[in-house]
């Protein structure tokens, strides 16, 4: 597994999806037609539009796409960490299943959401050095969430913090309780972030590009750690990344986003072996391959152009200006619907059948 700035080996696609255990269980998180609109000086910007998915226990859903595609905003909206209205307007519903009736996180008040965050849903943020408080000791930062949600004293909370540091593989855990973030390496800081996220045994973990700033070896260790913790606790994971090698390594389901919308969705095997959306195909072709390095048999491809301006989106398919398969009068006239191409495999492309034939 390689970092996002380094070549990767050939992407290894697993066999049948690992979602077998979770397939028959009801979802613990059901997101329906989620939208996020920011009010700006130049007008409203719809960063996320009509996003729907279900997440089951022990399942890992990967959100994939370029920067600016809406991945992180989707996760922040689920956690209700976007600015409050009127700066940001949320639409749709985010249903969290509990012991009673499902709760819609999109409508909960701030006090109720404080009881959800860190307790039932936790998040690993992208950059641990900016997420950890530089003037507080590691032990106190982990213990804070335990004391708030579990109602226990500081001594018991620090004992729990030591247990968590040991669980995520930090040596001399008791000694590290008194360390500050700048005392630790990047990989150890990320492990501390994982320990904070797991402090109250959440049912859902959102990991926002947790391996981006790490070297190859540490990245592989973090991915293996997340898989081990998921197997031990049964938690579901939403994993945000633009590294398709990581997706093949850890995900059961894949949701490819572009310009705020889902453009392809399904199991990791069909989406990565038989992608139907030209954007997904472009992402896969742009992955550096070590098995082709130096052979001259295949130039590294890149998707031309850039993500469209959210203030002035194209009238039809958002990917149409960059798409080699675009057809005038079809792709630039209306936004295509998200339609099934196979069981559990959805794609947003008006020409997906022709694209599949050409592929």
* Global confidence as pTM: 0.88
Sequence spans of domains, the chain: 132-201, 273-358
- Determine the pLDDT at residue 252: 94
Rounded to whole angstroms, the Cα distance separating 74 from 260 reads: 9
The token pair at 12 is 């290894």
- Determine the pLDDT at residue 184: 92
- Determine the pLDDT at residue 298: 65
| Contacts by 106-111, CB closer than 8 A, 24 or more apart | 106/34, 106/77, 106/80, 108/80, 110/80
Burial of 36 (0-12, 13-18, 19+ CB in 10 A): buried
**Residue 267 exposure: Cα atoms within 13 Å on the Cβ side:** 18
pLDDT per residue of the chain (359 residues) written in tens, 0 to 9 = 333 333 344 455 544 333 434 556 889 999 999 999 999 999 999 999 999 999 999 999 999 998 889 999 999 999 999 998 889 999 999 999 987 789 999 999 999 999 999 999 999 988 788 889 999 999 999 999 999 999 999 999 999 999 999 989 899 999 999 999 999 988 899 899 999 999 999 999 999 988 776 778 888 888 898 999 899 989 999 999 988 888 988 999 999 999 999 999 999 999 999 999 999 999 988 877 666 555 556 677 788 888 898 888 898 999 999 999 999 999 999 999 999 999 999 999 999 988 876 65
Sheet holding 88-96, edge to edge: 43-55, 29-40, 88-96, 103-104
Q: In b/e form, how buried is each residue of 266-276, taking b as 16+ CB within 10 angstroms?
A: bbbbbbbeebb
Query: Nearest-5° angle of CA 146, CA 175, CA 201?
Result: 25
Q: Assess whether the previous peptide bond of 86 is cis (omega < 30° from 0).
A: yes
């Amino acid at each position: 597994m390689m970092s996002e700035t380094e070549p990767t080996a050939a992407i290894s696609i697993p066999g049948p999806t690992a979602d077998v255990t979770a397939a028959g269980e009801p979802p613990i998180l059901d997101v329906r037609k989620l939208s996020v609109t920011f009010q700006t000086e130049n007008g409203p910007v719809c960063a996320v539009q009509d996003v729907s998915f279900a997440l089951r226990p022990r399942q890992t859903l990967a959100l994939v796409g370029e920067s600016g595609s809406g991945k992180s905003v989707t996760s922040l909206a689920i956690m209700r960490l976007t600015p409050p209205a009127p700066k940001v307007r949320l639409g749709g519903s985010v249903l969290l299943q509990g012991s009673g009736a499902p709760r819609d996180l999109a409508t909960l008040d701030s006090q109720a959401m404080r009881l959800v965050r860190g307790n039932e849903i936790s998040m690993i943020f992208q950059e641990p050095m900016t997420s950890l408080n530089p003037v507080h000791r590691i032990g106190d930062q982990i213990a804070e969430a335990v004391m708030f949600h579990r109602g226990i004293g500081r001594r018991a909370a620090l004992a729990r913090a030591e247990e968590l540091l040991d669980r995520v593989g930090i040596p001399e855990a008791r000694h590290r309780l008194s360390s500050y973030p700048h005392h630790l390496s990047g990989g150890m800081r990320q492990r501390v972030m994982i320990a904070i996220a797991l402090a109250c045994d959440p049912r859902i973990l959102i990991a926002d590009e947790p391996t981006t700033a790490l070297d190859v070896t540490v990245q592989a260790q973090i991915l293996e750690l997340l898989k081990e913790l998921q197997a031990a606790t049964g938690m579901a994971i939403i994993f945000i990344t633009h590294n398709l090698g990581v997706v093949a390594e850890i995900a059961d389901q894949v949701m490819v986003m572009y310009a705020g919308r889902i453009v392809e969705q399904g199991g990791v095997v069909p989406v990565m072996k038989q992608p139907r959306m030209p954007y997904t195909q472009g992402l896969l072709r742009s992955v550096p391959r070590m098995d082709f390095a130096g052979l001259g048999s295949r130039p590294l491809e890149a998707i031309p152009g850039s993500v469209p301006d959210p203030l002035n989106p194209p009238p039809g398919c958002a990917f149409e200006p960059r798409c080699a398969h675009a057809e005038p009068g079809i792709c630039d006239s209306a936004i295509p619907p998200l339609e099934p191409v196979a069981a559990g495999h959805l794609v947003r492309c008006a020409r997906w059948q022709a694209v599949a034939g050409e592929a």
